[in-house]
Amino acid sequence: MKNKILATILSLICIVSCFSLAGCGERKEALVYYLNFKPESAAVYEELAKKYEEETGIAVKVVTAAANTYEQTLKSEIAKSDAPTIFQVNGPIGYDAWKDYCLDIKDSKLYSFLTDTDLAIKDGDGIYGIPYVVEGYGIIYNDAIMEKYFALKSKKTNINSVSEIISFDKLKAVVEDMTTQKETLGIQGVFASTSLSSGEDWRWQTHLLNVPLYYEMVENDNKNDPTLNLLDAKEIKHNYSKNFQNLFDLYINNSVTAKTLLGSKSVADSMAEFALGQVAMVQNGNWGWSQISGVKGNTVKESDVKMMPMYIGIEGEENQGICIGTENYFAINKNVSKEKQEASLKFLEWLFSSETGKKYVSEKLGFITPFNTFTEAEQPADPLAKEIVRYMSDEKYENIPWIFTAFPSEAFKKDVGNALLDYAQGTKKWEDVEKTVISKWKSERS
Amino acid sequence: MKINQYRRYFPIFVAPCLVAFLIAFVIPFVMGLFLSFTEFRTVSNAQFVGIENYIRAFSDDSGFLESLWFTVKFAIISVITINVFAFFLALILTKSVPGTKLFRTVFFMPNLIGGIVLGYIWQVIINGVLYNFNYSITSDPTFGFWGLVILMNWQMIGYMMIIYIAGIQNISTDILEAAKVDGAGGFVTLTKIIIPSVMPSITICLFLTITNSFKLFDQNLALTAGAPANRTQMVALNIYETFYSRNGYEGVGQAKAVMFFVIVAVIALAQLYLTRRKEVEN
């Protein structure tokens, strides 16, 4: 009998503890829940959340999606009852996928902060996404190596400084001459590895492809906005395919790595090659600075890291600038309570207009923001960010917007990347790459 | 104490498991089945579309059939190689040779490493070899295919070997001695006594290798991720890519997953039925 009672009590305890443990997990819900896209800034956001709670008493929950898993994480998080109140979409295509969840924020203060309100994501009368960081990419070069080349007696070109490289032909002449003299220059190749392994090929299938498609969209621009024009395009002609090939060929033929081995290289590999001074150039954006400076034993000096435009051999490209834009737009979840939505906007406004917030944004997050609340002095100080600001402020340059935010889907980009890998390995011809771009565009858009 | 007395405790002991099983298995399964007939963005905003997803799953650019064919080829080769190698290792390591315990441990160890890690390790090894010939694993789908076979063998042989060893050790020495007295040679003993006696082990090993080969995901993702151009993409990875990298294809991915489940279930049950018939009672 005694045993029976004991057994009953024990099993009751067991059951009760099951439920109470579950109960413990349910803490007080935070009013603001931000699903962060940038894993490299996860720690900074955690810190910010704490600071904000100290100042205002409002709890902020920050969850960071692991690299390349934002869509997956968002898909599962947003279906929960405690859903993210602030999330981000990557442009018009991202908005299209998430429009059932995006709140119209045209009356928010955050929107009024924008220096250029055209940057926001519009749909009808509403504003659904607000960019919070401006980024730029081009060909990053090591000025020390370039200077060394220009000083060479054996130099076969008549170009004497980087500022004279203003077209693809000149770039090609310099690069090919540098390749023949790489031993003298102390480098192993002019360009860092054209990383083509799976998930590491976005610099080519997205960033590089942006340039020829931009020129195509400018040609018959009936919307006066190449991005919207591209967004409407059911089909593309890809008539600048040859120009796309120009620069891609230059990359892979003057690379530190043999063409057939590119399928195993990652972005980190190529940034390390640049940081260690093994190469003179690498195509990437200002976010790459943290990778360059983070490489152990890097030899490149901060003052030598510069950026030049990606010339692809278009007529009149002398004034072409770098590619500047964003794929980071804040959106507020439409389906959470009004209280939460307001708290979320308040948090973002605090982040981009209060002294503490701004300090974090420019110094720790290193964002060049598109907001008028930031003064010139409050822009980040790393060498690549400075280059972006230089290109943005110099009237001479026609910078290329990031129209790849209107590319139809991830699958399109992946298929283009696959085709580029096949081309680099020699298993496919350039015509096949061209066909893939055109046909995949059509099938993914429909 | 009668058994009946304990009957009333049944719910207390079974409930936690049952609840967990419901939450983690039955409910997601039923939801998945339902979602395969809908178009949805997140699991909470589904709209019914009938069997359209199943039709779209077979469209030209979905790669479902290609990946299925690749998976079948992979499964056939790796099931055969894994079981043959594992069985002969088990035979050798049940003989009285010194160091069998050590070898058993060594062969079993790869099984303790996760699939993703193994995938990357083998990627480095295979690339290290291919680099000498100016190739990498993405150069040709054949490399990826055999890479996967080698990786799968390396990981699974040890586990299957342990199961076979248990089976072989279970064979009564009386029978083996009787066979010897009757003049049976090594080959006859193997085919007439050992193999029939370990049929239960063969059943379980075949089941595990077949289902694991079909469901392979981590290793595929880490080793090749489908490169080049999805030609080394297995079904599980194809479903994942459909679901996550194409807009408006969530339902199609779900439909593929349901079909995949049916295929694997049919094959596994058929295999169980066929090998069970051959089992003998000891």
* pTM flag (> 0.90): no
Q: In this predicted structure, what is the pLDDT of residue A11?
A: 61
* Chain A interface, best mutation among B247, B249, B250, B254, by max A CB count within 10 A: B247
Q: Are residues B141 and B27 in the same domain?
A: no
Q: Do B136 and A260 touch (CB under 8 A)?
A: yes
- Domain residues for the domain of B139 are 61-278
| Res A300: pLDDT | 92
**Domain match, B30 and B86 both:** no
Q: How confident is the model at residue A246 (pLDDT cuts 50, 70, 90)?
A: very high
Task: Tell me which residues of chain A have a C-beta less than 8 Å from any C-beta of chain B.
Answer: 7, 11, 14-15, 18, 71-72, 75-76, 78-79, 93, 96-98, 100, 196-199, 258, 260-264, 408-411, 414-415, 418-419, 421-422, 425, 427, 440, 443-444
Number of A–B residue contacts, CB under 8 Å: 92
Q: What is the pLDDT of residues A143-200, one digit of tens each?
A: 999 999 999 999 999 999 999 999 999 999 999 999 999 999 999 999 999 999 888 8
pLDDT of A12 above 70: no
Average pLDDT over residues A404-420: 91
Element (H, E) at A11: helix A2-25
CB contact under 8 A, B229 and A419: yes
Q: What is the pLDDT of residues B251-269, one digit of tens each?
A: 999 999 999 999 999 999 9
pLDDT at position B77 over 70:
yes
- B267 shares its domain with B170: yes
- CB B118: neighbour CB atoms within 10 A? 20
- Are residues B176 and B241 located together in one domain of the fold? yes
- Among B5, B47, B139, B140, most A C-beta atoms within 10 A, so best to mutate, is B139
Of residues A437 and A9, which shows the higher confidence score? Answer: A437
Number of domains making up chain A:
2
Question: Which residue of chain B comes nearest to A99, CA vs CA?
Answer: B41
The per-residue pLDDT of chain A, averaged, comes to 89
Q: Which of A14-28, A261-275, A294-308, B168-182 has the lowest mean pLDDT?
A: A14-28
Chain B residues touching chain A at CB-CB below 8 Å = 9, 12-13, 15-16, 41-45, 61, 123, 127, 131, 134-140, 224-230, 241, 244-249
For position A123, which CATH number holds?
3.40.190.10
Nearest-angstrom CA–CA distance, A405 and A402: 6
Q: Which of B12, B140, B224 sits opposite A11 (nearest CB)?
A: B12
Query: Do residues A206 and A75 both lie within one domain?
Result: no
Cβ contacts of A440 on chain B, cutoff 8 Å: 61
> Do residue A198 and residue B41 have CB atoms under 8 angstroms apart?
no
Same domain, A106 and A249: no
Domain of B201, CATH number, reads 1.10.3720.10
Residue A273, domain member (yes or no)? yes
End-of-domain residue from the set B36, B53, B70: B53
For A73, A109, B198, the CA distances from A345, given in Å and listed in that order, are 22, 8, 67
pLDDT of residue A46: 92
Instruction: Express as a percent the part of chain B with pLDDT over 90.
Output: 54
Q: Which residues contact A14 (CB under 8 A, 6 or more apart)?
A: B12, B16
Residue A313 lies in a domain: yes
Residues A273 and A410 in one domain: yes
Identify whether A184 is part of a domain.
Answer: yes
Pick the closest to residue B67 from B189, B226, B206 (CA basis): B226
Together in a domain, B26 and B74: no
pLDDT, chain B, mean? 89
Q: Are A214 and A358 contained in the same domain?
A: no
Residue pLDDT, tens place only, A14-48: 555 555 444 444 456 789 999 999 887 888 999 99
B45 and B169 belong to one structural domain:
no
Q: Which two tokens stand for residue A229?
A: 């024009």
What average pLDDT does this structure show over A266-274? 93
- Are B119 and B126 in contact by the 8 Å Cβ rule? The answer is no
Q: What is the pLDDT of residue B282?
A: 47
**Whether pLDDT at B56 is above 70:** yes
Q: Judge: A425–B228 Cβ closer than 8 Å, yes or no.
A: yes
Residues of A within 8 A of B253 (CB-CB) are none
What are the tokens at A284? 């990437």
Residues A212 and A305 in one domain: yes
List CB contacts (< 8 A) between B245 and chain A: 409-411, 414
**What range does the domain containing A350 cover?**
32-134+326-374
Give the pLDDT mean for A356-371: 90
> To the nearest whole angstrom, how far is the Cα of B152 from the nearest Cα of chain A?
21
Q: Please give the ipTM for the structure prediction.
A: 0.75
- Between B16, B134, B138, which is nearest A258 by CB? B134
B49 shares its domain with B83? no
**Residue B249 confidence (pLDDT):** 86
* Contact criterion met (CB < 8 Å) for A78 and B42: yes
Mean pLDDT of B26-42: 90
| pLDDT at residue number A236 | 93
- Dihedral pair phi/psi, residue A201, rounded to 5°: -105, 10
- A78/A226 same-domain check: no
The residue from B27, B53, B79 where one domain ends is B53
pLDDT class of A75 with cuts at 50, 70, 90: confident
Is residue B229 predicted with pLDDT exceeding 90?
no
pLDDT on residue A17: 54
What is the pairing mode between strands A320-325 and A329-332? unpaired
Could you tell me if A174 and A190 lie in one domain?
Answer: yes
Whether B176 has a pLDDT exceeding 70, the answer reads yes
A259 located within any domain: yes
Nearest CB neighbour to A79, from listed B43, B136, B137:
B43
Contact state of B226 with A76 under an 8 Å Cβ cutoff: no
Give the mean model confidence (pLDDT) for residues B202-221. Answer: 93
For A412, nearest residue in chain B (alpha carbons): B246
Statement to judge: residues A245 and A230 lie in one domain: yes
Q: Is residue A160 part of a domain?
A: yes
Q: Which residues of A touch B9 (CB under 8 A)?
A: 7, 11
Angle subtended at Cα B39 by Cα B36 and Cα B43, rounded to the nearest 5 degrees: 75
How confident is the model at residue A23, as a pLDDT? Answer: 45
pLDDT at residue number A311: 96
Cross-chain residue pair B43–A72, CB shorter than 8 Å: no
* Closest-CA residue of chain B to A18: B16
- Looking at the structure, tell me whether residues A202 and A252 fall in a common domain: yes
Task: Please state, in angstroms and rounded to a whole number, the distance separating the CA atoms of residues B84 and B106.
Answer: 18
Contact A196, A424 (CB under 8 A): yes
Least confident of A312-316, A334-338, B58-62: B58-62
- Residue contact B241–A411, C-beta within 8 A: yes
Q: Is there a contact between B135 and A18 if contact means CB atoms under 8 Å apart?
A: no
pLDDT computed for residue A119 by the predictor: 84
CB contact under 8 A, B229 and A408: no
- On whether both B120 and B37 belong to a single domain, the answer is no
Chain B residue nearest residue A409, CA to CA: B246
B12 contact residues in A (CB cutoff 8 A): 11, 14-15
A261: nearest CB among B136, B230, B241 = B136
**pLDDT value at position A351?**
94
Q: Are residues B69 and B111 in the same domain?
A: yes
Q: Are residues A309 and A349 in the same domain?
A: no
Show which of B16, B37, B53 is a domain's final residue: B53
Q: Is B229's CB within 8 Å of A261's CB?
A: no
In a domain, residue A394? The reply is no
* Domains of chain B: total: 2
In a domain, A19, yes or no: no
Please report which helix (H) or strand (E) contains residue B38, including its range: strand B38-39
Identify which of A93, A98, A198 has the shortest CB distance to residue B225.
A198
Contact B204, B170 (CB under 8 A): no
Query: B198: Cβ–Cβ under 8 A, 6 or more apart, which residues?
Result: B164, B167, B168, B170, B171
